[in-house]
């Protein structure tokens, strides 16, 4: 019986292996692409687009608001506006200096007057969607910190009256100290719950920084922070 030539039988096997190998590469490539797309979709749904600007009151110490190198506080920015060192431009737009620009998501503060002519100063902490995709993710969102001069004056007056009415006894003095630590909401139960003023134009958060466009908003009180300061948003 004639034995088969090994060279002849090996050639078809090699060709078969060569034909099967390219079929695995597209499958692996498709699997990798599917994995990358899944990760990208998960990131778009779950990962926030940035960090909100934190509130920095007068006693918050040093350090920038959102990492832009500022060392000031919101109270300092309002003090500069009230004494004329920062002057509002057309529409109430205040360009914050580099040291204070980190106090606002846009780098600007927004000034207005209430019906009694008292000053309102708004610092947006976030503009637009929080995540790239997902339910309730649109660019109509706005939140931030509002200084209301009228409420600050009323709170200061209430605090002065509480101090003046405090007795000489230790119990009365302790009660006076506790009264001074009460939030604005307790001192001013009948204060305003919303304000109409100029703020940043709405849009995606990656366009907010440095955007000089403005629009009028009705901002609703979410939380009283004390000293005439309120945390507000556009949809409460």
The tens digit of pLDDT for each residue in 102-142 reads: 999 999 999 998 888 889 999 999 998 876 776 666 778 89
Question: What pLDDT is recorded for position 128?
Answer: 86
What pTM, to 2 d.p., does this model score?
0.70
Question: What pLDDT is recorded for position 159?
Answer: 76
Question: What pLDDT is recorded for position 136?
Answer: 60
Residues in CB range of 93: below 8 A, 6 or more apart: 108, 110, 111, 198, 212, 214
Between 178 and 118, the higher pLDDT residue = 118
List own/partner pairs for 41-49 with CB under 8 A and 24 or more apart. Answer: 41/133, 43/132, 44/131, 44/132, 44/133, 44/134, 45/131, 45/132, 45/133, 45/134, 46/131, 47/131, 47/132, 48/130, 48/131, 49/129, 49/130, 49/131, 49/132, 49/205, 49/206
Question: What pLDDT is recorded for position 188?
Answer: 42
- For the chain, the domains span 1-47, 74-233
> pLDDT (tens digit, 9 = 90+) per residue, 35-86?
888 787 776 666 666 788 999 987 655 444 444 445 799 999 999 999 999 9
pLDDT averaged over the chain? 77
């Amino acid at each position: 019986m004639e034995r088969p030539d090994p060279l002849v039988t090996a050639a078809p096997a090699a060709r078969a292996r060569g034909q099967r190998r390219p079929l695995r590469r597209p499958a692996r490539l498709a699997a990798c692409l599917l994995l990358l797309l899944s990760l990208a979709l998960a990131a778009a749904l779950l990962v926030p687009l940035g960090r909100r600007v934190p509130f920095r009151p007068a006693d918050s110490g040093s350090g920038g608001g959102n990492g832009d190198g500022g060392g000031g506080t919101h109270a300092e920015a309002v003090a500069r506006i009230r004494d004329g060192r920062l002057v509002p431009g057309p529409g109430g737009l205040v360009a914050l200096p580099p040291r204070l620009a980190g106090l606002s998501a846009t780098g600007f503060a927004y000034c207005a007057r209430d019906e009694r002519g008292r000053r309102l100063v708004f610092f947006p902490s976030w503009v637009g969607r929080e995540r790239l995709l997902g339910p309730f993710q649109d660019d109509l969102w706005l939140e931030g910190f509002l200084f209301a001069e009228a409420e600050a004056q009323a709170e200061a007056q209430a605090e002065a009256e509480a101090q003046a009415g405090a007795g000489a006894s230790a119990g009365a003095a302790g009660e006076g100290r506790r009264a001074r630590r009460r939030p604005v909401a307790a001192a001013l139960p009948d204060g305003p719950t919303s304000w109409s003023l100029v703020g940043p134009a709405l849009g995606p958060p990656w366009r907010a920084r440095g955007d000089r466009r403005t629009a009028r908003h009705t901002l609703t009180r979410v939380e009283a922070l004390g000293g005439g300061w309120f945390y507000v948003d556009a949809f409460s």
